[in-house]
Structure 1
Amino acid sequence: MADLAIHPDVAEALSIAQKNESSENLIKFIQKVSEKKERSCSEFVLDFAVKLISEGSDILKLENFKVLEEAFLAAIECKALDWANAFLIKINDHIPKSPKSIRYLAMFQEASGNPEEAKNLYRECIKADPEDTAAYRRLAAYLRDSDLVDEAIQTLNKALEMDMSDTQIWFELSDIYLAHMNYKQAAYCFEEILVQKPTNYLYNLKYGEILYSIGGGENLILARKYFSKAIALNDKSTGSTNNSVKAIWSLLETCKKLESMGRKYKDEVNEELIEMCKEKLTKAYSKESKFDIEELK
């Protein structure tokens, strides 16, 4: 089953490609990954791209440039540098010395263990195209890895000035804040992410976790809402409880914490959610399990 984080259209295309590995289906899947900017399918993309090439497909030609790009990005993600280099050579043949080809070269240098060269190339990209948000993201990642956290945050904020709707930038910014336990700033980032992707299970779950970490009655009530939404999204998407066990446990813990905070936060909704969580967890765990859900009372 496809990961819940994968866009539904990408998951559908992947399912079709896995059932029938025709060149048409493999290309359509990679094109859908490109269209939806899906970054969690790199192994599939690279595997399918290699199959297409071995079968004599023309994915290296200009008319399939989007497929070629995705193949390169997947190879970088999978650390398949020989393939990444082969794809990069073809990209440079099609768009020599363009900001995009320079950015891809920077990514290759970074993956090859040449961070200083990569940093200089990212700066060159931004100078050539000040609206290249992808170059800002990559530069920020380099700065963060170099412990230049403030500069990384500034770089991502500059990228957001170009495109406030870029969820990847917001996610990377939130990741920096979370690493430094700045939960309120991370929560703000996830509020922006959820404006763009309100039906993403993992984003709802993560936002709930951040609110729980901030603490306080009002934030816990809000966390309860987002954990509940994550569970509902999973149930609607898969019809199975097993994929949302983390959200169920998180919701149960949140409800029990609210209960412990006094009469103000004890309500019927809380009691109903606790019972629902116990029912779902009982279904999720096998009868042979030694764990007793009733011990949570």
Structure 2
Amino acid sequence: MKEENILYYVDNNVKSLQRNYEICLEKNIQELIIYYGIKLLKKYGKKNSIYKWNLYEEILKACIELKLYEYVDIYFKKLNDRFGHLNGKKIEILKGMVYELKDKNDEALCIYKNYIYNDPSDLLIRAKIVKLKKKVEGNINNVIQILNDHLKEFPVDVEAWHELGEIYLKNCYYTYALYCFEEILIHAPKNLYYILSCAELHYTISQYELSSKYFCLSLKLQKNNLRALWGIVLVNLSRYGNKKGKNFNDNVDVILTKKCIDRLYNLYDKNTNFLYRNLILQYLKEIGESFV
């Protein structure tokens, strides 16, 4: 970890310690959650407070994330000794997470299914069930079915749409992958990654006009985005590369392509340290001649 990213605190300054711990929780820095959490436990260890047990819980989750098996056993035992007799939801879910870490998938699945039966709208538990089913299931078609069934009930689960889209993409089901990514754009309309992914998928299936619109939207959000600039050039090369009619130079797409080529040329021309700079500049000149 870079030194400038490490948070420091003054010894015995509990407020400073708590503030740094909260920042690490917010930023999801697992190593520092454990580091600051343990230091806070030394301050609160003798007190039977809610804050103390919340520290144990967050440290346990961080240890699970980092697969620190020995520490997982220590901190789960502390929590289980204190709360296990209550059979509460939180301690049972933590038990399920420990089972997952140790590849006891059937035991974990049994716990999660018990709670989803009582509360079908719990998205977190649903996500854990889907994750476990995928882990156990070896057949990709069954994994696709699991995700589709989940999304029928919870169509707002962006992570599930992304995962399903990536599976379709990996297996060359471009139209299905496109559907998944466009669903995500309903919830995140300015997400550049998904806008560009949709643009490239439309290009792949030869829907050039829609591809161009998505690339233009990307440029509206980030005017010097190289993927979008190259995308417009390649789209219109496919559309107009061998077509030169009477009004060719007045075509809006051709004018747009020329502007993109000029912008690309200027961007690469400024980057004197780029290894393939001269080759790309020469290629851009050749492409530019196709649109004269």
| TM-score, normalised via structure 1 length | 0.68
Larger Rg: 2
Gaps of 5+ in 2: 10-15, 244-250, 285-292
The residue correspondences of 1:11-160 to structure 2 (distance < 5 A) are 18=6, 20-21=8-9, 22-33=16-27, 41=28, 44-55=29-40, 56=42, 58=44, 62-63=50-51, 70-89=58-77, 92=80, 93=82, 96-145=86-135, 146-160=137-151
CA distance in 2 between counterparts of 1:256 and 1:221 reads 10
Q: 1:217 to 1:200 in 2, by over 3 A?
A: closer
What SS does structure 1 have at the residue aligned with 2:116?
A: helix
What stretches of structure 1 move > 6 A for 4+ residues in a row?
64-67
**Deviation (angstroms), 1:252:** 0.7
Q: Distance in 1 between matches of 2:194 and 2:283?
A: 27
After superposition, give the CA deviation of every residue in 1:227-269 in whole Å (9 maximum; x if it has no partner): 425635xxxxxxxx7xxxxx51454144223223225784322
The percent of aligned pairs where both chains have the same amino acid is: 21
Report the secondary structure of 1:131's partner residue.
coil
**Residue 230 of structure 2 is aligned with which of 249, 252, 261?**
252
Residue 261 of structure 1 aligns to a residue whose secondary structure is helix
Equivalent residue of 2:222, what SS? helix
CA drift at 1:221: 1.1
Amino acid at match of 2:35: V
Matches within 5 A, 1:119-268: 119-145=109-135, 146-160=137-151, 163-228=154-219, 231-232=222-223, 248-249=226-227, 251-262=229-240, 266-268=253-255
Deviation at 1:86, TM superposition (A): 4.1
> Does structure 2 conserve the Cα–Cα contact (< 8 Å) formed by 1:259 and 1:266?
no
1:75 and 1:209 map into 2 onto residues whose CA distance is 39
Distance 1:268 1:73 in 2: 55
**In the TM superposition, what whole-angstrom CA distance separates every residue of 1:47-83 from its partner, at most 9, and x where no partner exists?**
2332331353559953477766554444333322334
| Number of residue pairs matched by the alignment | 261
Output the aligned Cα RMSD: 3.8
Q: Structure 1: give runs of 5+ residues left out of the alignment.
A: 3-14, 34-40, 233-240, 242-246
The TM-score normalised by the length of structure 2 is: 0.69
Tell me the amino acid that sits aligned with residue 177 of structure 1.
Y
Q: Which residue is 1:289 aligned to? A: 275
Greater relative contact order: 1 or 2 (C-alpha under 8 angstroms, separation 6 or more)? 1
Query: Per the alignment, do residues 133 and 150 of structure 1 end up closer, same or farther by CA in structure 2, a change over 3 Å counting?
Result: farther
